[in-house]
Protein backbone atom coordinates (compact mmCIF):
# COMPACT_ATOMS: atom_id res chain seq x y z
CA UNK A 1 0.00 0.00 0.00
CA UNK A 2 1.35 3.43 -0.95
CA UNK A 3 1.56 6.12 1.73
CA UNK A 4 -1.29 8.70 1.53
CA UNK A 5 0.90 11.47 0.15
CA UNK A 6 1.70 9.32 -2.89
CA UNK A 7 -2.01 8.88 -3.58
CA UNK A 8 -2.52 12.61 -3.14
CA UNK A 9 0.21 13.25 -5.68
CA UNK A 10 -1.38 10.82 -8.14
CA UNK A 11 -4.81 12.40 -7.69
CA UNK A 12 -3.36 15.86 -8.24
CA UNK A 13 -2.65 14.86 -11.85
CA UNK A 14 -6.38 14.27 -12.32
CA UNK A 15 -7.45 17.80 -11.41
CA UNK A 16 -8.83 18.32 -14.89
CA UNK A 17 -10.96 15.22 -14.76
CA UNK A 18 -13.63 15.74 -12.14
CA UNK A 19 -15.60 12.70 -13.28
CA UNK A 20 -12.69 10.35 -12.59
CA UNK A 21 -11.96 11.99 -9.24
CA UNK A 22 -15.60 11.68 -8.18
CA UNK A 23 -15.64 8.02 -9.19
CA UNK A 24 -12.43 7.34 -7.24
CA UNK A 25 -13.69 9.18 -4.19
CA UNK A 26 -16.69 6.84 -3.98
CA UNK A 27 -14.51 3.75 -3.80
CA UNK A 28 -13.27 4.27 -0.24
CA UNK A 29 -13.71 6.90 2.51
CA UNK A 30 -9.93 7.38 2.78
CA UNK A 31 -9.74 8.01 -0.95
CA UNK A 32 -12.58 10.51 -0.64
CA UNK A 33 -10.57 12.47 1.87
CA UNK A 34 -7.35 12.30 -0.11
CA UNK A 35 -9.13 13.39 -3.29
CA UNK A 36 -10.78 16.48 -1.80
CA UNK A 37 -7.84 18.88 -2.39
CA UNK A 38 -7.67 17.94 -6.06
CA UNK A 39 -11.41 17.75 -6.63
CA UNK A 40 -12.10 21.18 -5.15
CA UNK A 41 -8.96 22.91 -6.43
CA UNK A 42 -10.88 24.32 -9.40
CA UNK A 43 -14.62 24.83 -9.34
CA UNK A 44 -16.92 26.20 -12.02
CA UNK A 45 -19.98 28.09 -10.82
CA UNK A 46 -22.79 28.36 -13.29
CA UNK A 47 -26.49 28.92 -13.58
CA UNK A 48 -27.35 26.37 -16.20
CA UNK A 49 -28.65 22.85 -16.32
CA UNK A 50 -26.30 19.89 -16.23
CA UNK A 51 -26.69 19.41 -19.96
CA UNK A 52 -23.64 21.58 -20.51
CA UNK A 53 -21.49 19.52 -18.14
CA UNK A 54 -18.13 18.73 -19.69
CA UNK A 55 -16.81 16.65 -16.81
CA UNK A 56 -13.42 18.36 -16.66
CA UNK A 57 -14.09 20.43 -13.58
CA UNK A 58 -16.57 20.31 -10.79
CA UNK A 59 -19.55 22.42 -11.79
CA UNK A 60 -21.81 23.77 -9.10
CA UNK A 61 -24.62 26.21 -8.84
CA UNK A 62 -24.12 28.98 -6.25
CA UNK A 63 -26.44 27.38 -3.72
CA UNK A 64 -24.57 24.07 -4.09
CA UNK A 65 -21.22 25.77 -3.47
CA UNK A 66 -22.68 27.62 -0.50
CA UNK A 67 -24.00 24.38 0.98
CA UNK A 68 -20.68 22.64 0.36
CA UNK A 69 -18.74 25.39 2.14
CA UNK A 70 -21.17 25.35 5.06
CA UNK A 71 -21.18 21.57 5.43
CA UNK A 72 -17.46 21.11 4.77
CA UNK A 73 -15.64 24.33 5.71
CA UNK A 74 -12.22 22.83 4.98
CA UNK A 75 -13.05 22.99 1.27
CA UNK A 76 -12.24 26.72 1.40
CA UNK A 77 -8.62 25.73 1.98
CA UNK A 78 -8.61 23.55 -1.13
CA UNK A 79 -10.44 25.91 -3.49
CA UNK A 80 -7.76 27.84 -5.39
CA UNK A 81 -9.34 28.54 -8.74
CA UNK A 82 -12.88 29.63 -9.55
CA UNK A 83 -14.63 30.19 -12.84
CA UNK A 84 -17.92 32.06 -12.74
CA UNK A 85 -19.86 31.29 -15.90
CA UNK A 86 -22.41 33.91 -16.82
CA UNK A 87 -25.17 33.21 -19.29
CA UNK A 88 -27.04 35.31 -21.79
CA UNK A 89 -29.97 35.30 -19.41
CA UNK A 90 -28.59 38.28 -17.58
CA UNK A 91 -31.73 38.93 -15.56
CA UNK A 92 -31.58 35.37 -14.26
CA UNK A 93 -27.86 35.70 -13.47
CA UNK A 94 -28.43 38.92 -11.57
CA UNK A 95 -31.11 37.35 -9.48
CA UNK A 96 -29.58 33.94 -8.82
CA UNK A 97 -25.94 33.52 -9.72
CA UNK A 98 -24.64 36.96 -8.76
CA UNK A 99 -26.79 37.21 -5.65
CA UNK A 100 -25.59 33.77 -4.59
CA UNK A 101 -21.94 34.59 -5.26
CA UNK A 102 -22.11 37.90 -3.43
CA UNK A 103 -22.03 36.14 -0.08
CA UNK A 104 -19.53 33.48 -1.13
CA UNK A 105 -16.81 35.46 -2.92
CA UNK A 106 -15.41 37.44 0.04
CA UNK A 107 -14.86 34.22 2.00
CA UNK A 108 -12.65 32.56 -0.62
CA UNK A 109 -8.86 32.45 -0.72
CA UNK A 110 -8.34 32.14 -4.45
CA UNK A 111 -5.26 32.27 -6.61
CA UNK A 112 -7.19 32.41 -9.89
CA UNK A 113 -10.60 33.72 -10.84
CA UNK A 114 -12.35 33.93 -14.17
CA UNK A 115 -15.56 35.75 -14.99
CA UNK A 116 -16.79 34.64 -18.38
CA UNK A 117 -19.62 34.08 -20.82
CA UNK A 118 -18.52 30.66 -22.09
CA UNK A 119 -21.54 29.83 -24.18
CA UNK A 120 -22.17 33.18 -25.80
CA UNK A 121 -20.15 35.57 -27.82
CA UNK A 122 -20.44 38.51 -25.48
CA UNK A 123 -18.72 40.49 -22.81
CA UNK A 124 -20.28 42.87 -20.34
CA UNK A 125 -19.50 46.27 -19.02
CA UNK A 126 -18.35 46.28 -15.41
CA UNK A 127 -20.90 48.89 -14.40
CA UNK A 128 -23.66 46.60 -15.60
CA UNK A 129 -23.16 44.19 -12.73
CA UNK A 130 -25.01 44.74 -9.45
CA UNK A 131 -23.08 46.89 -6.99
CA UNK A 132 -23.13 44.17 -4.34
CA UNK A 133 -21.58 41.67 -6.74
CA UNK A 134 -18.89 44.13 -7.80
CA UNK A 135 -18.04 44.85 -4.18
CA UNK A 136 -17.84 41.14 -3.36
CA UNK A 137 -15.70 40.46 -6.42
CA UNK A 138 -13.20 43.19 -5.54
CA UNK A 139 -13.06 41.90 -1.95
CA UNK A 140 -12.34 38.42 -3.30
CA UNK A 141 -9.45 39.51 -5.52
CA UNK A 142 -7.93 41.93 -3.01
CA UNK A 143 -5.52 39.46 -1.49
CA UNK A 144 -1.81 38.92 -1.74
CA UNK A 145 -2.31 35.38 -3.06
CA UNK A 146 -4.48 36.30 -6.06
CA UNK A 147 -2.25 35.60 -9.05
CA UNK A 148 -4.47 35.38 -12.11
CA UNK A 149 -7.62 37.27 -13.10
CA UNK A 150 -9.42 36.71 -16.37
CA UNK A 151 -12.45 38.81 -17.19
CA UNK A 152 -14.90 38.92 -20.08
CA UNK A 153 -15.59 42.37 -18.79
CA UNK A 154 -14.85 45.80 -20.17
CA UNK A 155 -14.46 49.19 -18.53
CA UNK A 156 -13.40 47.81 -15.17
CA UNK A 157 -11.49 50.40 -13.13
CA UNK A 158 -7.89 49.31 -12.69
CA UNK A 159 -8.20 50.54 -9.13
CA UNK A 160 -10.23 47.35 -8.56
CA UNK A 161 -6.90 45.52 -8.65
CA UNK A 162 -5.15 47.95 -6.33
CA UNK A 163 -4.75 45.40 -3.55
CA UNK A 164 -3.72 42.47 -5.75
CA UNK A 165 -0.07 42.82 -4.85
CA UNK A 166 0.81 39.39 -6.20
CA UNK A 167 -1.10 39.62 -9.49
CA UNK A 168 0.86 37.92 -12.27
CA UNK A 169 -1.61 37.35 -15.10
CA UNK A 170 -4.43 39.66 -16.15
CA UNK A 171 -6.91 39.26 -18.98
CA UNK A 172 -9.18 42.14 -19.92
CA UNK A 173 -11.76 42.64 -22.62
CA UNK A 174 -11.70 45.74 -24.84
CA UNK A 175 -10.41 48.24 -22.30
CA UNK A 176 -10.26 49.28 -18.67
CA UNK A 177 -10.45 52.50 -16.75
CA UNK A 178 -7.06 53.71 -15.52
CA UNK A 179 -6.73 55.58 -12.25
CA UNK A 180 -6.79 59.39 -12.30
CA UNK A 181 -3.54 61.04 -13.31
CA UNK A 182 -2.77 61.87 -9.71
CA UNK A 183 -3.25 58.27 -8.63
CA UNK A 184 -0.44 55.75 -8.66
CA UNK A 185 -1.17 52.12 -9.39
CA UNK A 186 1.47 49.52 -10.10
CA UNK A 187 1.44 45.78 -10.48
CA UNK A 188 5.01 44.91 -9.59
CA UNK A 189 4.50 41.18 -10.15
CA UNK A 190 2.50 41.38 -13.39
CA UNK A 191 4.12 39.11 -15.97
CA UNK A 192 1.36 38.40 -18.45
CA UNK A 193 -1.26 40.66 -19.94
CA UNK A 194 -3.99 39.60 -22.36
CA UNK A 195 -6.12 42.12 -24.19
CA UNK A 196 -9.17 40.70 -25.92
CA UNK A 197 -11.01 42.44 -28.72
CA UNK A 198 -8.72 45.38 -28.54
CA UNK A 199 -10.08 47.97 -30.95
CA UNK A 200 -8.55 51.15 -29.57
CA UNK A 201 -11.84 52.98 -29.81
CA UNK A 202 -12.62 56.38 -28.38
CA UNK A 203 -12.52 55.36 -24.72
CA UNK A 204 -9.38 53.24 -24.99
CA UNK A 205 -6.90 56.12 -25.13
CA UNK A 206 -6.37 56.61 -21.38
CA UNK A 207 -5.97 52.86 -20.83
CA UNK A 208 -3.46 52.64 -23.66
CA UNK A 209 -1.51 55.56 -22.22
CA UNK A 210 -1.52 53.85 -18.83
CA UNK A 211 -0.18 50.64 -20.36
CA UNK A 212 2.64 52.50 -22.06
CA UNK A 213 3.93 53.56 -18.65
CA UNK A 214 3.18 50.37 -16.70
CA UNK A 215 3.89 47.44 -19.02
CA UNK A 216 7.66 47.61 -19.00
CA UNK A 217 8.21 44.33 -17.15
CA UNK A 218 5.81 42.12 -19.10
CA UNK A 219 7.15 38.70 -20.07
CA UNK A 220 4.04 37.68 -21.96
CA UNK A 221 1.62 39.70 -24.04
CA UNK A 222 -1.47 38.40 -25.80
CA UNK A 223 -3.37 40.63 -28.14
CA UNK A 224 -6.61 39.81 -29.90
CA UNK A 225 -7.81 42.33 -32.41
CA UNK A 226 -9.80 42.40 -35.61
CA UNK A 227 -8.24 45.67 -36.72
CA UNK A 228 -5.17 46.18 -38.83
CA UNK A 229 -4.65 49.67 -37.41
CA UNK A 230 -4.24 48.21 -33.93
CA UNK A 231 -1.44 45.99 -35.23
CA UNK A 232 0.06 48.81 -37.21
CA UNK A 233 -0.25 51.75 -34.82
CA UNK A 234 -0.92 50.58 -31.26
CA UNK A 235 1.04 47.35 -30.94
CA UNK A 236 4.54 48.62 -31.84
CA UNK A 237 4.79 51.25 -29.06
CA UNK A 238 3.43 48.78 -26.54
CA UNK A 239 6.01 46.20 -27.60
CA UNK A 240 8.73 48.83 -27.47
CA UNK A 241 7.94 49.45 -23.81
CA UNK A 242 8.32 45.78 -22.86
CA UNK A 243 10.84 44.78 -25.53
CA UNK A 244 13.60 43.96 -23.05
CA UNK A 245 11.50 41.63 -20.93
CA UNK A 246 9.09 40.07 -23.45
CA UNK A 247 9.63 36.35 -23.98
CA UNK A 248 6.21 35.23 -25.15
CA UNK A 249 3.98 37.04 -27.66
CA UNK A 250 0.59 35.91 -28.92
CA UNK A 251 -1.14 37.84 -31.67
CA UNK A 252 -4.64 36.93 -32.77
CA UNK A 253 -5.47 39.02 -35.80
CA UNK A 254 -8.97 37.81 -36.27
CA UNK A 255 -12.45 39.07 -36.56
CA UNK A 256 -14.14 40.26 -33.36
CA UNK A 257 -14.66 37.63 -30.74
CA UNK A 258 -17.21 39.64 -28.83
CA UNK A 259 -19.09 41.22 -31.66
CA UNK A 260 -22.48 41.52 -30.01
CA UNK A 261 -21.16 43.46 -27.10
CA UNK A 262 -23.37 46.46 -27.83
CA UNK A 263 -26.47 44.25 -27.75
CA UNK A 264 -25.41 42.91 -24.39
CA UNK A 265 -25.24 46.37 -23.00
CA UNK A 266 -28.79 47.01 -24.06
CA UNK A 267 -29.98 43.74 -22.55
CA UNK A 268 -28.21 44.53 -19.30
CA UNK A 269 -29.67 48.00 -19.17
CA UNK A 270 -33.17 46.69 -19.78
CA UNK A 271 -32.82 44.01 -17.15
CA UNK A 272 -31.63 46.57 -14.66
CA UNK A 273 -34.62 48.74 -15.39
CA UNK A 274 -36.87 45.77 -14.83
CA UNK A 275 -35.33 45.09 -11.44
CA UNK A 276 -35.54 48.68 -10.35
CA UNK A 277 -39.26 48.95 -11.02
CA UNK B 1 -0.51 38.30 -60.29
CA UNK B 2 -1.97 38.76 -56.84
CA UNK B 3 -0.76 41.91 -55.20
CA UNK B 4 -2.31 42.40 -51.78
CA UNK B 5 -2.64 45.72 -50.08
CA UNK B 6 0.50 46.22 -47.98
CA UNK B 7 -0.01 46.04 -44.25
CA UNK B 8 2.76 48.09 -42.80
CA UNK B 9 3.24 46.29 -39.51
CA UNK B 10 6.68 47.10 -38.23
CA UNK B 11 7.38 45.56 -34.86
CA UNK B 12 10.25 46.86 -32.75
CA UNK B 13 13.27 44.78 -31.94
CA UNK B 14 12.35 42.12 -29.38
CA UNK B 15 15.73 40.70 -28.42
CA UNK B 16 14.47 38.18 -25.87
CA UNK B 17 11.36 36.95 -27.61
CA UNK B 18 11.43 33.16 -27.68
CA UNK B 19 7.86 32.10 -28.41
CA UNK B 20 5.40 33.64 -30.84
CA UNK B 21 1.89 32.43 -31.47
CA UNK B 22 0.30 34.03 -34.46
CA UNK B 23 -3.31 33.44 -35.37
CA UNK B 24 -4.88 34.90 -38.46
CA UNK B 25 -8.38 34.52 -39.79
CA UNK B 26 -8.73 35.40 -43.44
CA UNK B 27 -11.95 35.41 -45.37
CA UNK B 28 -12.86 36.61 -48.81
CA UNK B 29 -14.11 39.80 -47.23
CA UNK B 30 -10.54 40.71 -46.25
CA UNK B 31 -8.87 39.53 -49.39
CA UNK B 32 -8.89 42.11 -52.23
CA UNK B 33 -9.02 39.48 -55.01
CA UNK B 34 -10.94 36.78 -53.38
CA UNK B 35 -10.01 33.55 -55.08
CA UNK B 36 -9.10 30.76 -52.68
CA UNK B 37 -5.47 30.68 -53.82
CA UNK B 38 -5.12 34.39 -53.22
CA UNK B 39 -6.57 33.92 -49.74
CA UNK B 40 -3.53 31.89 -48.66
CA UNK B 41 -1.13 34.45 -50.08
CA UNK B 42 -3.00 37.25 -48.38
CA UNK B 43 -2.83 35.53 -45.00
CA UNK B 44 0.88 34.85 -45.44
CA UNK B 45 1.57 38.43 -46.39
CA UNK B 46 0.34 39.64 -42.99
CA UNK B 47 2.24 36.87 -41.20
CA UNK B 48 5.45 37.69 -43.05
CA UNK B 49 5.20 41.34 -42.06
CA UNK B 50 4.91 40.43 -38.40
CA UNK B 51 7.71 37.86 -38.51
CA UNK B 52 10.36 40.03 -40.04
CA UNK B 53 13.30 40.89 -37.75
CA UNK B 54 12.30 38.47 -34.98
CA UNK B 55 15.70 36.80 -34.89
CA UNK B 56 15.61 35.43 -31.32
CA UNK B 57 12.51 33.35 -31.91
CA UNK B 58 12.79 29.69 -31.01
CA UNK B 59 9.26 28.42 -31.29
CA UNK B 60 6.64 29.69 -33.70
CA UNK B 61 3.03 28.58 -33.59
CA UNK B 62 1.05 29.49 -36.68
CA UNK B 63 -2.71 29.16 -36.56
CA UNK B 64 -4.04 29.92 -40.00
CA UNK B 65 -7.79 30.02 -40.37
CA UNK B 66 -9.12 30.36 -43.90
CA UNK B 67 -12.62 30.77 -45.19
CA UNK B 68 -12.75 29.41 -48.72
CA UNK B 69 -15.57 30.32 -51.06
CA UNK B 70 -14.71 28.10 -54.05
CA UNK B 71 -16.60 24.95 -54.98
CA UNK B 72 -13.64 22.60 -54.93
CA UNK B 73 -11.18 23.21 -52.15
CA UNK B 74 -9.10 20.20 -53.22
CA UNK B 75 -7.82 22.40 -56.05
CA UNK B 76 -6.44 25.02 -53.71
CA UNK B 77 -2.72 25.62 -54.20
CA UNK B 78 -0.96 25.30 -50.84
CA UNK B 79 2.53 25.75 -52.23
CA UNK B 80 2.77 29.39 -51.05
CA UNK B 81 2.45 28.13 -47.48
CA UNK B 82 5.07 25.42 -47.89
CA UNK B 83 7.42 27.84 -49.67
CA UNK B 84 6.90 30.39 -46.94
CA UNK B 85 7.87 27.91 -44.23
CA UNK B 86 10.71 26.50 -46.29
CA UNK B 87 12.20 29.96 -46.76
CA UNK B 88 12.25 30.41 -42.99
CA UNK B 89 13.43 26.97 -41.97
CA UNK B 90 16.66 28.35 -40.53
CA UNK B 91 15.00 31.21 -38.66
CA UNK B 92 13.17 29.20 -36.02
CA UNK B 93 14.01 26.00 -34.22
CA UNK B 94 10.49 24.69 -34.64
CA UNK B 95 7.13 25.68 -36.07
CA UNK B 96 3.79 24.23 -35.03
CA UNK B 97 1.27 24.64 -37.80
CA UNK B 98 -2.48 24.58 -37.27
CA UNK B 99 -4.60 25.07 -40.38
CA UNK B 100 -8.32 25.35 -40.09
CA UNK B 101 -10.48 25.67 -43.16
CA UNK B 102 -14.07 26.74 -43.45
CA UNK B 103 -15.65 25.94 -46.80
CA UNK B 104 -18.58 28.24 -47.44
CA UNK B 105 -19.99 26.15 -50.29
CA UNK B 106 -19.80 23.00 -48.19
CA UNK B 107 -21.43 24.83 -45.31
CA UNK B 108 -18.97 24.00 -42.59
CA UNK B 109 -15.50 23.38 -41.33
CA UNK B 110 -13.38 20.95 -43.33
CA UNK B 111 -12.27 17.96 -41.21
CA UNK B 112 -8.67 18.20 -40.09
CA UNK B 113 -7.83 14.87 -41.78
CA UNK B 114 -8.87 16.33 -45.10
CA UNK B 115 -6.87 19.51 -44.50
CA UNK B 116 -3.78 17.50 -43.61
CA UNK B 117 -4.29 15.33 -46.67
CA UNK B 118 -4.27 18.45 -48.86
CA UNK B 119 -1.18 19.83 -47.10
CA UNK B 120 0.67 16.54 -47.46
CA UNK B 121 0.60 16.92 -51.24
CA UNK B 122 3.12 19.75 -50.90
CA UNK B 123 6.54 18.16 -51.15
CA UNK B 124 8.29 21.11 -49.52
CA UNK B 125 6.06 20.90 -46.50
CA UNK B 126 6.43 17.15 -46.20
CA UNK B 127 10.21 17.44 -46.17
CA UNK B 128 10.00 20.13 -43.46
CA UNK B 129 7.90 17.79 -41.35
CA UNK B 130 10.25 14.89 -41.95
CA UNK B 131 13.26 16.96 -40.98
CA UNK B 132 11.54 18.02 -37.74
CA UNK B 133 11.31 21.71 -38.53
CA UNK B 134 7.53 21.77 -38.77
CA UNK B 135 4.77 19.88 -36.99
CA UNK B 136 1.35 19.90 -38.58
CA UNK B 137 -1.11 19.71 -35.77
CA UNK B 138 -4.09 17.48 -36.31
CA UNK B 139 -5.91 18.45 -33.17
CA UNK B 140 -7.85 21.68 -33.39
CA UNK B 141 -6.31 24.60 -31.66
CA UNK B 142 -8.52 24.99 -28.62
CA UNK B 143 -9.46 28.58 -28.24
CA UNK B 144 -12.73 29.98 -27.09
CA UNK B 145 -12.59 32.76 -29.66
CA UNK B 146 -11.94 30.47 -32.61
CA UNK B 147 -14.87 28.40 -31.49
CA UNK B 148 -17.13 31.28 -32.47
CA UNK B 149 -15.47 31.81 -35.82
CA UNK B 150 -16.24 28.28 -36.84
CA UNK B 151 -19.73 28.25 -35.42
CA UNK B 152 -19.00 25.52 -32.90
CA UNK B 153 -21.61 25.85 -30.22
CA UNK B 154 -22.35 23.68 -27.29
Chain B contacts of A245, Cβ < 8 Å?
16
Q: Look at residue B3 and tell me if it is in a domain.
A: no
- One DSSP character per residue, A205-238 reads HHHHHHHHHH-TT-SEEEEEES-HHIIIIIHHHH
Distance between CA atoms of A195 and A85, rounded to whole angstroms? 19
pLDDT of A207 strictly over 70: yes
- Here the ipTM equals 0.84
Q: State how far residue A233 is from chain B, nearest Cα, in angstroms.
A: 8
Chain B contacts of A243, Cβ < 8 Å?
12-16
Domain count for chain B: 1
- One DSSP character per residue, chain B reads ---PPP----PPP-TT--EEEEEEEE-TTT-SS--HHHHHHHHHHHHHHHHTT-TT--EEEEEEEEEE-SS-GGG---HHHHHHHHHTTTT-SEEEEEEEEEETTTTEEPPHHHHHHHHTT-HHHHHHHHTTSEEE--SPP--HHHHHHTT---
Going by C-alpha positions, the residue among A170, A86, A124 that lies closest to residue A262 is A124
Residue A97 is predicted with a pLDDT of: 86
A137 and A76 part of one domain: yes
Chain B contacts of A246, Cβ < 8 Å?
14, 16-17
Number of residues assigned to chain B: 154
Chain B contacts of A255, Cβ < 8 Å?
25, 27, 149
A33 and A102 part of one domain: no
Q: Look at residue B117 and tell me if it is in a domain.
A: yes
pLDDT one-digit tens code per residue, A220-267: 999 988 888 888 888 999 999 999 999 999 998 876 544 333 333 333
A147 and A178 part of one domain: yes
Domain that holds residue A218: 42-276
Average pLDDT over residues B79-89: 85
Give the best residue of B5, B15, B21 to mutate against chain A (max A CB count within 10 A): B21
Give the best residue of A121, A195, A232, A252 to mutate against chain B (max B CB count within 10 A): A252
Positive or negative torsion for Cα A142, A148, A152, A158: positive
pLDDT of A90 strictly over 70: no
Within a 10 A sphere around the Cβ of B107, how many other Cβ atoms? 8
Q: Which residues of A216-252 are buried (b: 16+ CB within 10 A; e: fewer)?
A: ebbbbbbbbbbbeebbeebbeebbebbbebbbbbbbb
Contacts of A228 (CB under 8 A, 6+ apart): A253, B7, B9
* Lowest-pLDDT range of A25-39, B21-35, B46-60, B121-135: B21-35
pLDDT of B1 strictly over 70: no
Which letter does DSSP use for residue A96 in this model? I
The per-residue pLDDT of chain A, averaged, comes to: 82
CB-based contact B59:B19 (threshold 8 Å)? yes
Between A184 and A43, the more confident residue is: A43
Q: Look at residue B102 and tell me if it is in a domain.
A: yes
A119 and A35 part of one domain: no
A88 and A199 part of one domain: yes
Phi, psi of B145 (to 5 degrees): -75, -45
Which letter does DSSP use for residue A98 in this model? I
The per-residue pLDDT of chain B, averaged, comes to: 79
A198 and A233 part of one domain: yes
Distance between CA atoms of A36 and B33, rounded to whole angstroms? 58
Contacts of A67 (CB under 8 A, 6+ apart): none
A142 and A75 part of one domain: yes
A211 and A246 part of one domain: yes
Domain that holds residue B37: 19-149
Sort B92 into a burial class: Cβ within 10 Å, 0-12 / 13-18 / 19+: buried
A7 and A110 part of one domain: no
Domain count for chain A: 2
A91 and A109 part of one domain: yes
A34 and A68 part of one domain: no
A34 and A83 part of one domain: no
Amino acid sequence: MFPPEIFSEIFSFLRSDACVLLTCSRTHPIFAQLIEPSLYAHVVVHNRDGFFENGRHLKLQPYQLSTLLSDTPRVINYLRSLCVELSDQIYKDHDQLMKGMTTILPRLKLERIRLTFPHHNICAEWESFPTAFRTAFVACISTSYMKEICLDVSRIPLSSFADCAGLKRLTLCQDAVPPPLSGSLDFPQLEALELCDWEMGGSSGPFFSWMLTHAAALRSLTLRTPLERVLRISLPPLLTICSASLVNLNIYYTRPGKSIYSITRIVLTLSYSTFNV
Amino acid sequence: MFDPEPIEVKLPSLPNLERLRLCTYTSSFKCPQNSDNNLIRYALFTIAKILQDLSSLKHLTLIICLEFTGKDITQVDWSPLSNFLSDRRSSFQHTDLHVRVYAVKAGGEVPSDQVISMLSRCENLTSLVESGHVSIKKEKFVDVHLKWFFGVYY
